Chains A and B, each alone.
Chain A
């Protein structure tokens, strides 16, 4: 099976062709926004990071930023720095050059202030945009697709309709040789044994237990009952009683394939097939991490309705019930509620999601893209100094 994508010089394949203006530090955020606004057609993100990352978090941040900027959906990136920050653009460039990504850099102190940086940054970005306009889609094999999965604002129907339907789509993608990722380690608590049983080997099994035991220890260290947080207030109102119940519904979205690998947050998998990324269940933090790990697309299931999108990757939204679909039609692409009220099978809806994945990979816009949703947030792991 094939789709139409953008072949990159490093061999990767993008489903979009974005030019990204990316501040490596919060102090460069406004300048980055000014540059992006001056060059319509570009995308810009903001974040509060770039300084104060101690020890392991420094590497974690570099990996995440470089992974995000190096995603094959990005034709080229302008990195905007200040000049005195911990994560200067050159640190990201080093990683990006390993991937062959097209990159330009600019720093506010070196350029001499906001206005000069915006003027120069605009020229650099215009050049990237001109080059990007020359890229053409070509046929690529579905095995090159890397799908991130997420469930957000879940209800008890998520585990019954939307998540198992997405699971079917993941199984179809994996059968074609592609990659599907599940993350949200807190939503593996109570379902670890189910995932561990499906581990490809002892090392993967060990890692599944390691990440879930570490996550639970972190949660317990706070000294509260996880209920009210996971499941959150909306989940509980939606009928979910415990984290175990939420997890068992949540993991269904990855399908039933063998778990090939467990990677860190924003770490690129070296295996195809079903992979797990260790990370929080926070919708936007998880999406950002999976995109930084190389996912070209996200399928996001929702029970109560979510508008969330992502800056450089299409997000396909699947509702678990028809009431939410009818309430938030402008946000939701596919309604899995038909499983309950129109008698459609989970398999039929799963195949529809898979078909939509191929179409969106070839250029069809998702609702979140049409509305311009571009939520972005990076996971933090260490004390900020």
Chain B
């Protein structure tokens, strides 16, 4: 069966859906020799990200092993992680 999601770096706390994943769907992800079990708490559109563990308000979102932004509210494990709950730190002219 085709892989349903992918984790790019072992340090990452988000994965990317490789197809549309339904709310309540259970998946297993292999990160090197570790297996993570996840039940998706929301529907995840194809190519979008979801959290591999609970991320607190202000917590770093890690992808490619690097910080790609901060959580603007608590994101629960298996939750859709995108512009509605993540903000970037660079190029924020609105915060001047």
Instruction: State whether B47 touches A245 (Cβ < 8 A).
Output: no
Stretch at the interface among B22-30, B31-39, B51-59, B83-91: B83-91
Instruction: State whether A241 touches B91 (Cβ < 8 A).
Output: no
A191 CA to B45 CA, complexed, in Å = 26
Instruction: State whether B91 touches A219 (Cβ < 8 A).
Output: yes
A243 CA to B68 CA, complexed, in Å = 8
- Counting chain B residues whose Cβ lies within 8 A of the other chain, the interface size class is 20 to 34
A243 CA to B69 CA, complexed, in Å = 9
Instruction: State whether A224 touches B94 (Cβ < 8 A).
Output: yes
Instruction: State whether B86 touches A241 (Cβ < 8 A).
Output: yes
The A interface is mostly helix, strand or loop, or mixed, namely: loop
Instruction: State whether A241 touches B93 (Cβ < 8 A).
Output: no
Known contacts A155-B47, A241-B49; decide if A226 and B66 are in contact (CB<8 Å). no
Instruction: State whether A243 touches B88 (Cβ < 8 A).
Output: yes
Instruction: State whether B93 touches A221 (Cβ < 8 A).
Output: yes
User: Among the listed A155, A157, A189, A238, which residue makes an inter-chain contact with B91, where contact means beta carbons less than 8 Å apart?
Assistant: A189
Contact string, A216-251, partner B, CB cutoff 8 A, digits 1/0? 100111111111001000001011011111001100
Residues of A contacting B48 in the complex (Cβ-Cβ under 8 angstroms): 156, 239
A157 CA to B8 CA, complexed, in Å = 11
Which residue of chain B has the shortest Cβ distance to A224 in the bound complex?
Answer: B93
Contact string, A139-172, partner B, CB cutoff 8 A, digits 1/0? 0000000000000000111011000000000000
Which residue of chain B has the shortest Cβ distance to A245 in the bound complex?
Answer: B68
Instruction: State whether B64 touches A159 (Cβ < 8 A).
Output: yes
Q: How far is the CB of A243 from chain B (nearest CB, A)?
A: 5
A155 CA to B16 CA, complexed, in Å = 11
Is B77 engaged at the interface, CB distance under 8 Å to the other chain? no
A225 CA to B95 CA, complexed, in Å = 8
Is A67 engaged at the interface, CB distance under 8 Å to the other chain? no
Residues of B contacting A222 in the complex (Cβ-Cβ under 8 angstroms): 93
A155 CA to B69 CA, complexed, in Å = 17
Instruction: State whether A245 touches B45 (Cβ < 8 A).
Output: no
Residues of B contacting A155 in the complex (Cβ-Cβ under 8 angstroms): 47
A314 CA to B6 CA, complexed, in Å = 33
Instruction: State whether A223 touches B83 (Cβ < 8 A).
Output: no
User: Among the listed A194, A223, A230, A244, which residue makes an inter-chain contact with B68, where contact means beta carbons less than 8 Å apart?
Assistant: A244
A226 CA to B46 CA, complexed, in Å = 24
Instruction: State whether B86 touches A223 (Cβ < 8 A).
Output: no
Residues of B contacting A56 in the complex (Cβ-Cβ under 8 angstroms): none
Q: How far is the CB of B48 from chain A (nearest CB, A)?
A: 4
A192 CA to B80 CA, complexed, in Å = 27
A222 CA to B46 CA, complexed, in Å = 33
Is B13 engaged at the interface, CB distance under 8 Å to the other chain? no
Residues of A contacting B64 in the complex (Cβ-Cβ under 8 angstroms): 159, 245, 248-249
Residues of A contacting B83 in the complex (Cβ-Cβ under 8 angstroms): 227, 236, 241-242
User: Among the listed A219, A223, A244, which residue makes an inter-chain contact with B69, where contact means beta carbons less than 8 Å apart?
Assistant: A244
Instruction: State whether A248 touches B16 (Cβ < 8 A).
Output: no
Is A190 engaged at the interface, CB distance under 8 Å to the other chain? yes
Instruction: State whether B91 touches A225 (Cβ < 8 A).
Output: yes
Instruction: State whether B92 touches A225 (Cβ < 8 A).
Output: yes
A360 CA to B96 CA, complexed, in Å = 47
Instruction: State whether B68 touches A242 (Cβ < 8 A).
Output: yes
A227 CA to B86 CA, complexed, in Å = 11
Q: A219-B93, A224-B94, A242-B90 are in contact. List 9 more A-B contacts (CB 8 A).
A: A191-B66, A222-B93, A227-B87, A239-B82, A241-B61, A242-B61, A242-B83, A245-B63, A245-B64
Q: Residues of A at under 8 Å CB distance from B?
A: 155-157, 159-160, 186, 189-191, 194, 216, 219-227, 230, 236, 238-239, 241-245, 248-249, 340-341
